[in-house]
Structure 1
Amino acid sequence: MKKIHFNDIQIRNKLLLIYMFSVFLPIILTNIIFYIDTTNNVREQKMKDYELALEQMATGFRQGVEDAAGIASVLYSDAYIYQLLNKYYDKTVDFILAYNNNFRDINKYTPIYSSVDSIQLYTDNPTVITAGGIHYIDKDIKNSYWYSMSSTYRKNFPVLTRNKSDEGLLDEFVIVRELDSSDSVTFEKIMMIHLNNRFVRQAFENVTFEGDVYLIDNLGVIQYTTNPILNVANELTKFEDVKIDGDSQVLEEEYQLQYLDDWKLIGVIPKENLVTEVRNSFHSMIYLALWNFVIPTLFILYIAGNIHLRLNTIVKQMRKVKNQHFEVIEGKSYKDEIGVLTSEFNRMTRKIKDLINDVYIVRIQKQELELEKKDAQLKALQSQINPHFLFNVLETIRMRSVLKDEIETAEIIKYLAQLLRTSISWEEDWVTIKKELQLSAAFLEIQQYRFGDKMEYDIQIDKTIENKYIPKMVIIPFVENASIHGIEPLKGKGKITISISSTEEKITCIISDNGMGMEEEKYQKISRSLEEEEVIGKNIGIRNVAQRLRMYYGDQYELTIVSKKEYGTTITLVLPNERRAEM
């Protein structure tokens, strides 16, 4: 199976991939993570709010019960109340007097505590009149729910239980406390404090708690609930018999009081209540995700299609150019990258067409004529002068000078012949440093012959590198410039120094003179001209050397010129020390 490279995919599809992986998928993933995190955060916050609300309900109900239990404790220690119910009255008028003195202020506590509705006393004393808040303990009372449920503990401490209301419903909460602490008493005496029904409803109807509340006694019986389905006023229902959805959250608050020992306040919250707010925004998130997908997708399809069409147009025209059909792309010029590419393609097409039609053919014909002309001139010169004839003539003149004892003239002719032979014959490109310096010395001897005492020269070389090879005639052009342009115009005596030294990696050649020198602008211009490719115009000699060195060494050589007006010029040439002498 052929492996597909990313660069093989069309730009339109690349843009879609970029959009999918860089925009759409991150947005979808971000929305999902945001939804999950938001759901969890809302659930946790809701649970905290529900726990706080349940705690507030439990605290409010407990406070009301504690207030009632506190009243019961006060009345329990009241000796007058105890004596009122425990005394045997011979006459009815005696009870009435005792009632007026000891019982009328018993309800003074009810206005103080909003949780208390009324206070009633129960006794089996037959001499007590059962009226005005005092009731006789008969058989019905003993069979009542509150009497039986409080019988075990009411002698020790107040007991919270329920009592039937006037409507016959078991929906009243009462605190029951027996006034006798032992069984060896004459008459049974019980105190009952009724809790205000409105207080109970307010305590358990918290609008911030979005669920059902169950008040469970120590036997697991539901004593109160906000669940409208259950009717705990007519029948006793255990909490374990209530059907609760498994996804619902159950919160619990336990009471640690004597009269509420092992009682619990349980809150049941349906699952949907925990994430209702998040679910309400779910549709908005879906619509937003669709908006983030559909609209950008259509837009990027349009952009990608436009780019694809324009690039295809350029490609088609380029294929035509391959077949020498130089046609421009018609249409409006745009300023984006593709528009610039189109404009440049049109310009290139026109330029190529113009070059082919107007310049290229003419230049070829002209160059052919020039080559033919130069070839004819070269052949004519070669036919006119034979270099060997010149060497033979110079040798004849030198020998005649020797025979006539004109030794100086003979030496100059020998140097001249050496220069001409080296310049005309180019059989090899590389020579030893020793041979190159011999040629430079020959030129300097001729110049010294011309100017006499006006010029002197000095050649210094490390003997260990005489047989190192360097390109032919790379030193003499600088020696010639030093002689002609530096020393010759000088009024006084001039000197040219050639110094060659080496290291393991470099050969350094320094040609210096104390001649006329140059202004900084001029020698800087010459230095810049050494970087040019074509060897035309002025300074052909040294520019030819620079070009040849660039050809041989690339950028591994250094050629610097330093000159100062009236002080002379120094040429520094640094070459790689890599070519060995041939043995």
Structure 2
Amino acid sequence: MRMLRTTLDHVRLRDKMLLLYFLCVFIPVVLTNLIFYHVTSQNVKEQRMQDISRALEQIKIEFYREFEDAMEISSILYIDHQLNELLELAYPHPADYIAAYDSYLRHMLNNTYSPVYHSVGGITIYTDNPTLLNSGGINLIDERVKSLPWYSKIPPGRQSKPIFVRTGDGTGEQQHPFSLIRRMNYFYSQNGHEKILKIELRMSSIREIFHNLNLQGSLFLLNERGEIEYTTDPKVDTNAKAVAYNELQLPKDTIEFKTNYVLMNSLNGWSIVAAMPEDEVLYEMQTSRNFVLLLTCANMLLPTLIIIWITRSLNVRIHRILKHMKKVKNQRFELIPGTVSRDEIGQLTGEFNRMTLKIKRLINDVYVADIQRKNVEIQRRHAQLNALHSQINPHFLFNALETIRMRSLMKREDETAHIIHNMARIFRNSLVWNKDRVTLREELELISCFLEIQQYRFGERIGHEVQAQPEDLDYLLPKMVVLTLVENASIHGIEPLKHGGRIEIHFELRAGRLILTVRDNGVGMSVKQVQRLYNYMQRQEEMGERIGLQNVIYRLKLYYGSRFELNIRSALGEGTEIRIMIPADRE
């Protein structure tokens, strides 16, 4: 918890408010509505599936009722003794058959059942009794009848089980294509005549059943072999040949519902299948989804506007305070305008204005005193520099050297006089008190004088090399800094050697810094001595009586503070390299 609080302390206020919004408003509202939508859509989907299943079951029951009506009529005619007796008689004259037909058969076949059973489209009895005539409801079994497809589907022998078959295409004389067919062999036939009962179902009643308004897809009536006997899909033609339902190419988004006829007489194994488009089944789910989306937007809009309003009240005022704090950092003491509010940010604004006024007064009060203090400090530093010059360059030596040089000229000792002249130039330059820094050109002149003196002293034991670019000669550096390093290299590094001493002096300008390098191949220094020189850079003590490299370090600290670098590389018997890097300044 402490780590979490520390992490949140580094998050901007605006980001915290966004995090608060997403965690406490956006995500809860979205999750809640997603769960609500999921539960609601599942309930709607299940309800719709149940409605479709119930509608399909209702179609199944109504179609079976139509079939039961035909079954009931067939059972009545099947056990009608008088009907069977009239069909078995051998009529000697057609007039006798006509009399029997008018007395009983006409009423039985044409008028008795039609008003009661609306599903029955027609009743026909087929017989091979040659003494009967083709009349209403009575047909002779001839070769044409035997060639009909439904005739071949009648089970052979004395089996009287009714069958439900498709007997026509619904056009022409076969306007009722579904029929119930059974053999009428309930009574023993002396003459052995074959009698077949054919009850046609009214096609209009079947269409009315299958065109249920609650089912917007396609309905298929399948026989026990899975072949389509009837369908509401106009694209499927079942008249030309038998079409298997499994061979249909239904759309991928089709949802199927199926109900079977089990142990229902001649319809056993038949089934009714509804092929519904998914969009039609899930139409109410889409309506529910749109409602949930609308509710989600409404639930998010009002909290979002309120949070934006509150966040703006906090964020804008805090940013205004931060902007004025940055102005104070840049010494622009401006007050925050506007009416001070009574909340915590308003109190912070008021305290900031009072603090700004107090700081401004304090600066005005102490400004003059601070300037005076800085002037005193500048004068003190200038006095220290003058004192350093006095320690390095005694004035009386210049007069003494001039006397010796004049004496050498009088005795015609020109080489000695030239060396003394170089020494005098060095001391004369060091006596200029009003000039703390010199150009690289002037420093090189002093170094040249000193090296000639050392060459006069050591002869072939010492050699030197000076490298500097002409365009760098106008850069400034503290007076006699490099000369002091050359002097240390000559006296402490080269003088103990018997021969082969060499001093290299390099000046280089790189990346806005002047790099001064003095290198010798003398006796070098130990690690302890190098570390002692580095320690001088860390001390804050006054110069006192120290001279040489310590003097150089102290003067560099006075001029540049922490803006200079000093690197020393040395080892006993391998020589010494001292490199100084200072800011590159021109006069």
Q: Which residue of 1 aligns with 2:97?
A: 95
Q: Which residue of 1 aligns with 2:70?
A: 68
Q: CA deviation at 1:150?
A: 3.0
Identity of aligned residues (%): 37
Q: CA deviation at 1:210?
A: 2.5
Q: Is the 8 A contact 1:16 1:300 kept in 2?
A: no
1:191 to 189, 197, 219: 197
Deviations 1:112-131 (Å, cap 9, x if unpaired)? 12211221211111110111
Q: Is the 8 A contact 2:175 2:203 kept in 1?
A: no
Q: CA deviation at 1:207?
A: 1.1
Deviations 1:325-355 (Å, cap 9, x if unpaired)? 9875321233444234434655787899999
SS for the counterpart of 1:262 is coil
Superposition map of 1:123-138 within 5 A: 123-138=127-142
SS for the counterpart of 2:153 is helix
Q: Which residue of 2 aligns with 1:333?
A: 340
Going from structure 1 to structure 2, the CA distance change for 1:282 and 1:154 (only over 3 Å counts) comes to farther
Which consecutive segments of 4 or more residues in structure 1 shift more than 4 A?
Answer: 168-171, 181-185, 280-303, 315-328, 343-357
Q: Which amino acid aligns with 1:190?
A: I
Q: CA deviation at 1:152?
A: 5.0
Q: CA deviation at 1:73?
A: 0.3
SS for the counterpart of 2:112 is helix
Q: CA deviation at 1:299?
A: 6.8
Going from structure 1 to structure 2, the CA distance change for 1:272 and 1:316 (only over 3 Å counts) comes to closer
SS for the counterpart of 2:167 is strand
Q: Which residue of 1 aligns with 2:241?
A: 235
2:281 to 260, 274, 277: 274
Q: CA deviation at 1:51?
A: 0.6
Q: Is the 8 A contact 1:12 1:305 kept in 2?
A: no
Mapped partners of 2:117, 2:342: distance in 1? 86
Runs of at least 5 residues in structure 1 that lack an aligned partner in the other structure: 358-583
Q: Which residue of 1 aligns with 2:231?
A: 225
Question: Normalising by the residue count of structure 2, what TM-score does the alignment of the two structures yield?
Answer: 0.54
Mapped partners of 1:156, 1:339: distance in 2? 103
SS for the counterpart of 1:232 is coil
SS for the counterpart of 1:125 is coil
1:12 to 8, 11, 14: 14
Deviations 1:495-522 (Å, cap 9, x if unpaired)? xxxxxxxxxxxxxxxxxxxxxxxxxxxx
Q: CA deviation at 1:315?
A: 4.6
- How many pairs does the alignment contain? 357
1:163 to 153, 164, 167: 167
Going from structure 1 to structure 2, the CA distance change for 1:189 and 1:21 (only over 3 Å counts) comes to same
Q: Which residue of 1 aligns with 2:49?
A: 47
1:208 to 210, 214, 218: 214
Mapped partners of 2:179, 2:214: distance in 1? 27
Q: Is the 8 A contact 1:150 1:161 kept in 2?
A: no
Mapped partners of 1:258, 1:90: distance in 2? 40
Q: Which residue of 1 aligns with 2:60?
A: 58
Q: Is the 8 A contact 1:216 1:266 kept in 2?
A: yes
Mapped partners of 1:237, 1:356: distance in 2? 104
Mapped partners of 2:175, 2:150: distance in 1? 10
Going from structure 1 to structure 2, the CA distance change for 1:145 and 1:94 (only over 3 Å counts) comes to same
Q: Which residue of 1 aligns with 2:381?
A: none
Q: CA deviation at 1:74?
A: 0.8
SS for the counterpart of 1:192 is strand
Question: Normalising by the residue count of structure 1, what TM-score does the alignment of the two structures yield?
Answer: 0.54
Q: CA deviation at 1:203?
A: 1.3
2:126 to 122, 126, 130: 122
Going from structure 1 to structure 2, the CA distance change for 1:153 and 1:245 (only over 3 Å counts) comes to farther
Mapped partners of 1:244, 1:21: distance in 2? 46
Q: Is the 8 A contact 2:166 2:177 kept in 1?
A: yes
Q: Which amino acid aligns with 1:338?
A: I
Q: Is the 8 A contact 2:121 2:176 kept in 1?
A: no
Mapped partners of 1:157, 1:150: distance in 2? 9
Q: Which residue of 2 aligns with 1:111?
A: 115
Runs of at least 5 residues in structure 2 that lack an aligned partner in the other structure: 365-587
Superposition map of 1:245-284 within 5 A: 245=251, 247-255=253-261, 256-279=263-286
